[in-house]
Structure 1
Amino acid sequence: MFAFKALYFGIFVSLHYGVNVVLSTGPLSQFRVIRITPSDSSDVETLLALTKNANFDVWKWPSAGSPNMDVMLSREERRTFLPVLQTNGLQFHVMIKDVQRLIDVQRSSALKSRSRGVGEFEYFKYHTLDEIFAWMENITSVYKDRASLFNVTTSYEGRPLMGLKISNPSVGPADRPAFWIEGGIHAREWISPATVVFMAGQMLDLYKLDPELTAAVDKFDWYILPVTNPDGYSFTWKDDKSRLWRKTRSPQGKCIGVDPNRNWDLEWCKSGASKDPCSDTYCGPEAFSEPEVKGVSDFLQGLPNLKAFIDVHSYSQLWMSPWGYTKKLPENYKLQDGGSAVATDALEKMYGTKYEHGSIAGILYEASGSSADWVYGKLKVPFSYAVELRDTGKYGFLLPEDQILPTGHETLEAVRALVMYIYENIQYYNDL
């Protein structure tokens, strides 16, 4: 398909790209994250061809907004792959020198937090699934006048997909629009549940204390699902080798798991998805094969007046709207992207963090079978977004805990601004 500059491609032929990483060849201290920087479109094509059938873990694929590729490589993989890059004239540098060190820091901090015993929930820490569930039960008991629990469904391994509804029935019209926020659909993206939990906590703790936030909360019925993939998320807490797991945990022949953000029934398993059960982007044996995805889709279909949806991921600092399966833009893209612009402007004003905005396929890459596409395309929810949180690659999926609160604060500012934009434009959209 492409003209190669060297004949080393056969070294990497094994499974389709993005396969499950089995870190059994040595400690994770031997693993580094390398950023490859193509200089032009020809370099991007060469890089994609060289990595198409590689069995190492790709953390970030080249995109329209950022042609860089981040890959995690063992010592042995570096010895074989880096010379290939050099031979083909591709520039690269080390982003993370020691993956194990970053994991150790997260583990140590989490253990210290638990050793202090039960107390006030620490939003500046990463928490296990059980700790998040305990927080949800506690905060809904404290704010029972405007918060309640809901259970979406049960995961493959029998865990609940527990959500939090925030609504004040004494304020506003009875038919308020609904706003859905979900996190943790990809297991290893720990900053996603942490940010979603923080925002929900602020909506409740600061209600009546922050007039603007109070107004934003009152305008919608909020449905918040911190961990959409509870089996996968729990698995990432098991040990160091499991920390970077991405998918669900359902058996798929010789491999485990499905990418839950490729399993939705809209343009299922076309561009940007794999039919290889061992791939990290495996779309599943059929659309909605995963009970977690099917359960969320059923729940969303039962929500009256759903007008807004955000699926929270990491990393890359992007605020995106449909479509993901094609670079073709939907009819009301200008209205959707206007919300993205408002959100990213508000976000940047807090700490100067810069986000790009645009369509998923336009600034990231084509990915079919995503939740944001399905919600927009099938449920006709006018404002559907996928967000990639901090950072841009210095830490990647291993963002330190000292960035949880800044990420949470700035993302809440973005949501606050987006709420007002959506509320002002709902009627305009309905009249289209």
Structure 2
Amino acid sequence: MILKFLACFLLVWVPCPAQKTRFDGFSVLRVVPTSEKQLLLSKQILENQNPLEVDVWRFPGGVDHSLDIQVSPKHFSKLNQTLTENGLQAHLLIRDVQTLISEQERLNKNVKETADLFNYGKYHTLDEVNSWIKNITEYYPNMTTALKVTQSYEGRTIQLLRISTGEGNSKPSFFIEGGIHSREWISPATVLFMAGQMLDRYSSDTRIKQLVDSFDWFILPVFNVDGYEYTWTKNRNWRKTRSKHGSCVGVDPNRNWDYEWCKEGASKEPCSDQYCGPSPFSEVEVKGVADFIMKNSKNIKGFIDFHSYSQLWMTPWGYTKQLPPDFKDQDKGSELAVKALQKVYGTKYNHGSIANVIYVASGSSADWTYGAAKIKYSYGVELRDTGKYGFLLPPDQIIPSGTETLEALIALANFVVNN
């Protein structure tokens, strides 16, 4: 959900296709507009600085909301000067992005593997995730089923795990997805951990058993499979899908849903990281997942789209700051979730509607599941952290993130069951 604000800019730093993009000397600045005037100025500065190698990691939805900007060493001084001239003070959040990328890779490689156990405390490639789905369904054949959702633009299979302990189709369902934005690695990792806990602790933990028994669970660890693969092989900071649009590549899969499509908070410029696509559901990945959800929407009572970063638990609407008629109930679920989450390690999350808490974003998954599929309890969640690492969390935060988020899920599920 975190976005790149510029419409299109010259990627002079991209190496030949055989190499992996490096971000040596790239830094991340944080700016906090303290007035409506400064907020408007910050947006205008970004819009008018083409071609700048600027990647907005966190966009300010309002006054006193942080704006995090990745900038190349070539344009660092110019951007900093422009901000200062307009009364905006920049704080250096990350000194060197490539250092964090390299450290994340090094630490991930050093996480020990065992021959017979899947290690939830490391980041996994798409092939490893798919192998996990295959293996977990063989290990828990009476509780799990692997389901193919659709094929991606590049021909990869998008598959999910169904966890069910009931007979027939009468039980309510809950749909969870991760990795809609490919660079947000903590999202699939957290989803995998929670799914593993639901299965491994089912027979020994009464709270987990109640959680699992309350719903049929549809769990999609990696939504944007092409983009996720690309972050492992070519560009760690890639966000979009990999479809072709003239000289540009990819659509923001969280701006492509057919509900209030391509209005505020989305772009019609194909090179933008907010590009909504040439039409609603133009992306085969989005259309495939939407079709699956709609086919099962009669029984789906809860939906969560996990993102990073910012530590937010949010509800519709994203396309407008106006609140929907169910907001009070929806936000009560958020409140219970973040309270349960905080009790584990003290991690603090904010909650509220998407447009009011983070920024206006039209054509999003949570708006569509609530507005079109009529899933009342639809949520968009931004996981750890608040900016120290951004998208580049070290692997030692995966299990803590999964542990606290699972507690939030238990609290939310209990609320949904009773409401």
TM-score interval for Structure 1 and Structure 2 normalised by the shorter chain: over 0.9
Rounded Cα–Cα distance in structure 2 between residues aligned with 1:296 and 1:190: 20
| Corresponding residue of 1:227 | 222
2:103 to 105, 111, 115: 105
Amino acid in the other structure paired with 1:265: D
Deviation at 1:107, TM superposition (A): 1.8
Deviation at 1:20, TM superposition (A): 8.3
The alignment status of 1:158 with 2:155, answered yes or no, reads yes
| Corresponding residue of 2:319 | 325
Rounded Cα–Cα distance in structure 2 between residues aligned with 1:66 and 1:204: 42
- In structure 2, relative to structure 1, the CA distance for the partners of 1:65 and 1:317 (3 Å cut) is farther
- In structure 2, relative to structure 1, the CA distance for the partners of 1:27 and 1:204 (3 Å cut) is closer
TM-score (norm 2): 0.93
8 Å Cα contact 1:19-1:280 kept in structure 2: no
Mapping 1:125-204, distance limit 5 Å: 125-169=122-166, 175-204=170-199
Deviation at 1:39, TM superposition (A): 2.5
8 Å Cα contact 1:17-1:53 kept in structure 2: no
- In structure 2, relative to structure 1, the CA distance for the partners of 1:18 and 1:362 (3 Å cut) is farther
Percent sequence identity over aligned pairs: 53
Query: Secondary structure, in 3 states, of the residue corresponding to 2:305?
Result: strand
1:217 to 212, 215, 229: 212
Amino acid in the other structure paired with 1:205: D
| Corresponding residue of 1:430 | none
Deviation at 1:259, TM superposition (A): 0.2
Amino acid in the other structure paired with 1:237: W
Rounded Cα–Cα distance in structure 2 between residues aligned with 1:71 and 1:302: 40
Rounded Cα–Cα distance in structure 2 between residues aligned with 1:65 and 1:363: 11
Deviation at 1:53, TM superposition (A): 3.9
8 Å Cα contact 2:32-2:64 kept in structure 1: no
Query: Secondary structure, in 3 states, of the residue corresponding to 2:175?
Result: strand
- In structure 2, relative to structure 1, the CA distance for the partners of 1:27 and 1:186 (3 Å cut) is closer
Rounded Cα–Cα distance in structure 2 between residues aligned with 1:380 and 1:137: 31
Rounded Cα–Cα distance in structure 1 between residues aligned with 2:224 and 2:357: 25
Rounded Cα–Cα distance in structure 1 between residues aligned with 2:356 and 2:324: 12
1:335 to 317, 329, 333: 329
1:346 to 300, 323, 340: 340
8 Å Cα contact 1:268-1:287 kept in structure 2: yes
Deviation at 1:18, TM superposition (A): 6.7
Amino acid in the other structure paired with 1:322: P
Rounded Cα–Cα distance in structure 1 between residues aligned with 2:366 and 2:357: 15
| Corresponding residue of 1:245 | 238
Rounded Cα–Cα distance in structure 2 between residues aligned with 1:263 and 1:20: 24
- In structure 2, relative to structure 1, the CA distance for the partners of 1:66 and 1:175 (3 Å cut) is farther
| Corresponding residue of 1:294 | 287
Amino acid in the other structure paired with 1:147: T
- In structure 2, relative to structure 1, the CA distance for the partners of 1:118 and 1:231 (3 Å cut) is farther
- In structure 2, relative to structure 1, the CA distance for the partners of 1:358 and 1:156 (3 Å cut) is same
8 Å Cα contact 1:185-1:313 kept in structure 2: yes
| Corresponding residue of 1:259 | 252
Rounded Cα–Cα distance in structure 2 between residues aligned with 1:38 and 1:121: 44
Rounded Cα–Cα distance in structure 2 between residues aligned with 1:198 and 1:211: 18
| Corresponding residue of 1:381 | 375
| Corresponding residue of 2:83 | 85
8 Å Cα contact 2:184-2:307 kept in structure 1: yes
Deviation at 1:113, TM superposition (A): 4.9
- In structure 2, relative to structure 1, the CA distance for the partners of 1:174 and 1:151 (3 Å cut) is closer
Deviation at 1:66, TM superposition (A): 4.8
| Corresponding residue of 1:413 | 407
TM-score (norm 1): 0.91
8 Å Cα contact 2:8-2:269 kept in structure 1: no
